[in-house]
Amino acid sequence: MQHGLPAQFVYVAGVLEAFGGALLVLGLFTRPAALLLAIEMGVAIWKFHSTGGIMAVHLYEFPLALCAACAALATVGAGLVSVDESLLSSGRRKSRVPKKAKE
């Protein structure tokens, strides 16, 4: 409990990063996984990487980039080449190409 968090959170963070990263690579449950990873990175920056103050950017620049990327994925969602997209579009065969207007 060096930083005020229980020791079990280390295991929770490890499982979240391993399985959450795998889910992001596959594109499966992208939004929830990315949201959980963004929250986890925010807590990591707040509790561990901000020991040098706000001006010590070299201590938290990589976790901040990961947090921003996960927040963007949580907002936008998975792309066209993902398991999420294939699962969502299997029930509804909706074309992404707009129909031409009748002249």
**Which string of DSSP letters, residue by residue, matches the chain?**
--SSS-THHHHHHHHHHHHHHHHHHHTSSHHHHHHHHHHHHHHHIIIIITTT-TT-HHHHHHHHHHHHHHHHHHHH---SSSHHHHHHHHHS---SSPPPPP-
> Which tens digits make up the pLDDT trace of 25-59?
999 999 999 999 999 999 999 988 888 888 888 88
> Against a cut of 0.75, is the pTM above it?
yes
pLDDT at position 57, please?
Answer: 86
